[in-house]
């Protein structure tokens, strides 16, 4: 990493650089200091009147030019964990809550720009390790259809992942818009799979959209690297979105994500969940026993029904990959400029239904076959 700035330590000018081993090196004519940059490293940024005056690392304080330090902060954002998030951001409100975390709206004290933060409680060391695994996986993903995360903060009780602020998908997209959304989702999923990662929790709540109608995949809390066989033996996901082979303890791979994408497509077209039941256990039963023969004939233009069947095939050997999905005839007639920029008003009744359903669908996560959180 080619990065060089000048900082001051004890009234002495120092040269700061980041070497190829991701170590922070600060030196002057008298001394050399080296600090490893990893998720066990901590920096505290010091602001004065919303200007960065310096940073503290391993009890040493370094001052410098605001703009140089801002560049340093950007460089280090995905490498280490910062302390004292309140030094840098105002907490405005809570955007949403899940079983293990909540999403908050932040405003940067320096730029006034709005961000979202995934806020997670450090319940035990196992949870902390899981959060760091999510951070590591997310930090390896750089794609237009993957939400950007900028930096991580830690307090005594919580860890905060600061990411771009995005919007929920609407529930009234037309056919051409849905095709564009599906293309974005599948391009993001194809990229994730090309990095040997399985998301394992793709659902409508984890697919957001920015102000320019660019779809983004979020939340890598359950993601695993395909090479880690032990991770792929764990049943996890959100009821109603989980591939049947996962629920029946059969071997699974990247194609388990494709089934989840099929469920999302069904919701986008029909404004309802694929598996209709009031209790989570009943949703799981329908989810587990699903076969493609149970899918009713649906009227979706451009071979959309055949495409949906290809995504939802209960047999993973016959289910298409993300790459194959992007080559499907359904994708061939996409109108790239079709998106309507002005949001429409959502259907009030469906909005109420979604809010009610989110309690049992979006906030319920399985992490082992016999235990539901």
Q: Return the residue matching tokens 């008298």.
A: 30
- Is the Cβ–Cβ distance between 55 and 116 less than 8 Å? no
Pair of tokens at residue 143? 């794609």
Is 165 marked within a binding site?
no
β 224-225/207-209 pair status? unpaired
Give the ranges where 195-314 is alpha helix by DSSP (H).
244-247, 255-270, 280-289, 304-312
CB 209 within 8 A of CB 334: no
Distance CA 332, CA 6 (A): 53
Tokens of 116: 């979202």
What DSSP element (H or E) covers 131?
Answer: helix 125-139
Catalytic residues: 201
CA atoms lying within 13 Å on the CB side of residue 161: 28
**φ, ψ at 61 (rounded to 5°):** -110, 130
182, 176 contact by CB (below 8 A): no
- Token pair of 182, please? 């599906």
Q: Which two tokens stand for residue 187?
A: 């391009």
CA separation for the pair 125, 127 (Å, rounded):
5
Residue stretches of the annotated binding site for ATP: 118
Residues at the annotated binding site?
A: 118
């Amino acid at each position: 990493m080619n990065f060089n700035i000048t900082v001051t330590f004890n009234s002495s000018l120092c040269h700061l650089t980041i070497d190829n081993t991701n170590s922070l090196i600060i030196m002057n004519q008298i001394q050399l200091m080296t600090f490893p940059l990893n998720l066990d490293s901590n920096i505290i940024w010091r602001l004065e009147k919303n200007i960065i005056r310096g940073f503290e690392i391993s009890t040493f304080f370094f001052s410098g030019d605001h703009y140089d330090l801002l560049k340093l902060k950007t460089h280090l954002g995905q490498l280490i964990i910062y302390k004292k998030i309140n030094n840098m951001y105002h907490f405005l409100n809570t955007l949403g809550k899940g079983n293990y975390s909540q999403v908050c709206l932040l405003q940067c004290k320096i730029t006034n720009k709005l961000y979202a933060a995934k806020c997670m409680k450090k319940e035990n060391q196992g949870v902390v390790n899981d959060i760091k695994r999510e951070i590591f996986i997310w930090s390896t993903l750089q794609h237009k259809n993957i939400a950007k995360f900028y930096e991580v903060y830690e307090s005594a009780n919580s860890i905060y992942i600061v990411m771009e602020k995005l919007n929920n998908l609407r529930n009234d997209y037309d056919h051409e818009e849905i095709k564009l959304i599906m293309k974005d989702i599948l391009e993001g999923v194809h990229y994730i799979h090309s990095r040997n990662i399985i998301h394992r929790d793709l659902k409508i709540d984890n697919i957001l959209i920015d102000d320019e109608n660019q779809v983004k995949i979020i939340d890598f809390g359950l993601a695993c690297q395909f090479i880690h066989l032990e991770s792929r033996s764990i049943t996890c996901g959100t009821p109603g979105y989980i591939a049947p082979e996962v629920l029946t303890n059969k071997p699974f791979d990247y194609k388990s994500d494709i089934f989840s994408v099929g469920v999302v497509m069904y919701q986008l077209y029909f404004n309802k969940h694929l598996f209709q039941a009031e209790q989570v256990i009943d949703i799981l039963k329908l989810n587990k026993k699903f076969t493609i023969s149970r899918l009713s004939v649906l009227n979706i233009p451009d071979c959309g029904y055949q495409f949906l069947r290809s995504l939802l095939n209960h047999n993973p050997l016959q289910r298409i990959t993300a790459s194959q999905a992007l080559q499907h005839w359904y994708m061939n007639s996409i109108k790239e400029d079709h998106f309507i920029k002005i949001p429409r008003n959502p259907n009030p009744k469906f909005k109420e239904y979604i809010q009610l359903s989110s309690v049992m669908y979006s906030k319920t996560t399985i992490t082992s076959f016999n235990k539901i959180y």
